[in-house]
Structure 1
Amino acid sequence: MNFKKNTLLLQNLFELRKVHSVTKRQSIGRVFFINSHMGLCDSSGSIWPVLLHKNIAIENLKSGDILSFNCEIIFSNTKNKNSYEDNCYLIEINEIVKKIPCLEDWKNAVIPSPLPTKSFLFPQQIITEERLSNTHFYPSPSSERIKYIKQRNRCLERTKTFFNNRGFLNIETPTLVPSGGVEVYLNTFASEYIDHRDQKWQLELPTSPEFALKKIMSEGTDKIFQLSRAYRNKGELSHHHEPEFIMLEWYRSGATLQQIMHDTQTLVQTLAYFLGSSEELPKQWPQYRVDDLFKKLIHIDLEEVQDRDIFYAKAKQLSPSIIETDDWDSLFYKLFMEKIEPFLKEQTACFVTHYPIQMGALAAQEVIFVKNKNQQSNSTKPFAERCEAFLFGVEICNAYLELVDAENLLNRFQKTTQFRKSLKRDPIFENTMQFGLPPCAGNALGIDRVIALLLGLKDISTLYPIPFLSQFIAETVAKE
């Protein structure tokens, strides 16, 4: 659109309203409707309230139309003439100079904002002068979505600085890999590479960069980290899950699980301070062993119920969701979600450690040292050196004292792939383990989830310019 020299070319409609000394202006905006109520979306992504002059037929406008218009700024607060609050100024369109019609209705799924939803924009009634009476309009929010995107960008940069300042090497790993992971409860996205001979190679998108980073660790690096894309298939779409997200993963050579927990707590507290979060986090996050929680809250000793049938006999009395066909893992997870997580939701922030070895994945098994007279011996416990952190009752990370025993790892892989034959193994990673992974500890943290929680957001998708769901026609893709 061409504008005259004296036309105000908007950065956003908010600035237009702020210039109340010059009441008549020309501007542009895109029309959106909820039911019969109209708002204009500006270039910043905000949707602002507008009024239409009585000579303009609202029936001639539809969502998506781009308007060039003459307008007048109206001071609506007749009760307090000295008030200059932003929401006292309304835009009334007096003349539509040009309209570029929208060719088709908006069909894609909802982006949290700026697209209007009933939860984001709701009509309010202005009862001031006669001119404004019985007029419904949208409240004028700041561009929340753009603000959150900027805050996320700043947090990711601050996270890089956090690790760079501590001597970590920033690594970039591939997103086309032979194996996306071999954890039982994670599902991968499949792809295919075709070489110049037309030979086909099956590839996957990684559920985390773990295999690739451990290959780097085996070369003798000391401390590494990565903010990488991670992918989870088959229903990973809910308030705190997106099929594609940013995973923060880091490793320390020769470290303990306690050191990784210290990293985690310090990072989250740093980001909370950086964002100006109103939530006060504890100075020292409490730590709870899984077996202690089971004993304390539901009176089950996990060491005594390693047999599935014994576990089922005790578990079925505690939950109606438990059925006879549940395996050991299912019994554990049902009890954990129903009986343990309510306690964790009462904690602002905490660590949960030493999960059953059945949930060990690539974590080392717990070893205790026993002294008998003048001798010292080692004894294994049926728990893994694994911990998860919970922030406001939501799990944010999964940390391991890493399994470095190649034979043990291969046995775990074999059991997992027997249970789920569709899982693909990475022979180069297995060779890396045989070559020798040094003693180390690491963590995989959902950085987007942490940022959303610290900002008090219900959905992590609010942080994304293009959330996964917004790429599909509304209400066609299932969400939990």
Structure 2
Amino acid sequence: MSDWQPTASIDALKQRAALLNAIRGYFAERGVMEVETPLLASAPVTDPNIEAIATENPLGGEHPLWLQTSPEFAMKRLLVAGSGAIYQICKAFRRGESGARHNPEFTMLEWYRPELSLNELMDEVAGVIALALGDFPAVNKLSYRQVFKQYLNIDPHTASAAELAGLARQHLDVGFDSDDPDLWLQLLMSSVIEPALPAQNISMIYEFPATQAALAKIEDDDTGQPVARRFEAFYRGMELANGYDELQDASELIRRISRDHAQRQAAGQSRPPIDRYLLKAMQSGLPNCVGVAMGFDRLAMLACQAGRIDEVIAFPVSRV
């Protein structure tokens, strides 16, 4: 095949287009408004696990703009302005993410629901996944503690870094050491637990460790353990969605950004600026809401029964 041609077949692109139409119909039926926000941002996310791509400011000046890694910040500004329930299908960009399930430029489906609970949002996510599958598989909702106890017989919220490291070495070929429990938890989750989840069911894993809250609220669970009010959705070994009971406290937002900056500095990463517009919006009052981000290309992979993201993208980064 000549390198000018798309990596996705025309049939796959037709299925992708049909899925886009189905998703728009899904949200129209629920009264969720479609919005558009800029792809350029004055500040990227500070999450140490995500690297944004800087670009020249078209207005000049010394400060660059960034290609957005998610439309989250701009959409939250709309929520504060009174938009109500909103969704967006847009391009997002992340440095260094390339592989069978990643492309540095990808399509994001993201939505926010002021009137829903986190549990109701899980149900809505399952409904969107079902659109891609053409069927509605069983949905399992399990806490982070439940899956760690089920598959590794350990409580992830109380286990020490040494205990978690020992478990990782039992199951994986690990050639490094760390005293960071989160590093081991994330490794065990991605490499041991996620592949073991029932492939035929949609798995919703909720109540992550408070240290992995990102921009989710933190509350005590039934045992009094502080946990993050967020979930991740998986199907056939693939992570599809990341949902949150959204943080509303502007002061806590600053504390979490400061923690991200400290982690980035310790790891030798750059420290991006704070999005002053988001901070002002949060100080004005983000409504109580839940939100979720889904990789649309991965949904298209399910719809097309594709093994690689290149099979559902017309022109991945290798052909631009």
Tell whether the structures are fold-level matches, with TM greater than 0.5.
Answer: yes
The answer on 1:452 being equivalent to 2:313 is no
- What is the CA-CA distance between 1:426 and the residue it aligns to? 0.6
Normalising to structure 2: TM-score of the pair? Answer: 0.90
Please state which structure has a larger fraction of its residues in helix.
2
Residue of structure 2 in register with 1:251 after alignment: 112
Normalising to structure 1: TM-score of the pair? Answer: 0.62
1:173 to 34, 37, 40: 37
Q: Percent identity?
A: 30
SS in 1 for 2:197: helix
2:72 to 210, 227, 245: 210
Instruction: Please identify runs of 4+ aligned residues in structure 1 that moved more than 6 A.
Output: none
The CA RMSD over aligned residues, in Å, is 2.2
- What is the CA-CA distance between 1:194 and the residue it aligns to? 4.8
The 1-side partners of 2:208 and 2:130 are apart by: 25
Amino acid paired to 1:216: L
Residue of structure 1 in register with 2:90 after alignment: 228
- What is the CA-CA distance between 1:109 and the residue it aligns to? 8.2
- What is the CA-CA distance between 1:435 and the residue it aligns to? 1.4
The 2-side partners of 1:222 and 1:355 are apart by: 27
The answer on 1:391 being equivalent to 2:235 is yes
2:282 to 428, 433, 449: 433
- What is the CA-CA distance between 1:192 and the residue it aligns to? 2.0
- What is the CA-CA distance between 1:231 and the residue it aligns to? 0.7
Please state which structure has a larger fraction of its residues in strand.
1
Q: C-alpha deviations, 1:424-480, integer Å up to 9, x for none?
A: 221111121111111100110111211211221111222222222123xxxxxxxxx
* Contact 1:295–1:301 under 8 Å retained in 2: yes
2:16 to 152, 176, 185: 152
Q: C-alpha deviations, 1:166-217, integer Å up to 9, x for none?
A: 111111010110122122211111012153xx52331101111011101111
* Contact 1:392–1:453 under 8 Å retained in 2: no
User: Relative to 1, partners in 2 of residues 1:347 and 1:173: Cα closer, same or farther, differing over 3 Å?
Assistant: same
SS in 2 for 1:286: strand
Counterpart mapping for 1:5-404 below 5 A: 108=3, 111-112=6-7, 145-195=9-59, 198-234=60-96, 236-273=97-134, 281-282=136-137, 284-305=138-159, 308-309=161-162, 311-312=164-165, 315-316=168-169, 319-321=172-174, 323-325=176-178, 327-344=180-197, 346-368=199-221, 381-404=225-248
* Contact 1:269–1:281 under 8 Å retained in 2: yes
Residue of structure 2 in register with 1:52 after alignment: none
- What is the CA-CA distance between 1:294 and the residue it aligns to? 1.0
* Contact 1:246–1:448 under 8 Å retained in 2: yes
Count matched residues: 315
Give structure 2 stretches of 5+ with no counterpart: none
The 2-side partners of 1:317 and 1:455 are apart by: 36
The 2-side partners of 1:469 and 1:216 are apart by: 35
* Contact 1:388–1:398 under 8 Å retained in 2: yes
The 2-side partners of 1:415 and 1:165 are apart by: 40
The 1-side partners of 2:204 and 2:216 are apart by: 16
SS in 1 for 2:185: helix
- What is the CA-CA distance between 1:328 and the residue it aligns to? 2.3
* Contact 1:228–1:246 under 8 Å retained in 2: yes
Give structure 1 stretches of 5+ with no counterpart: 1-31, 33-105, 114-144, 274-279, 371-378, 472-480
Higher relative contact order (CA 8 A, sep 6+): 2
The 2-side partners of 1:429 and 1:393 are apart by: 34
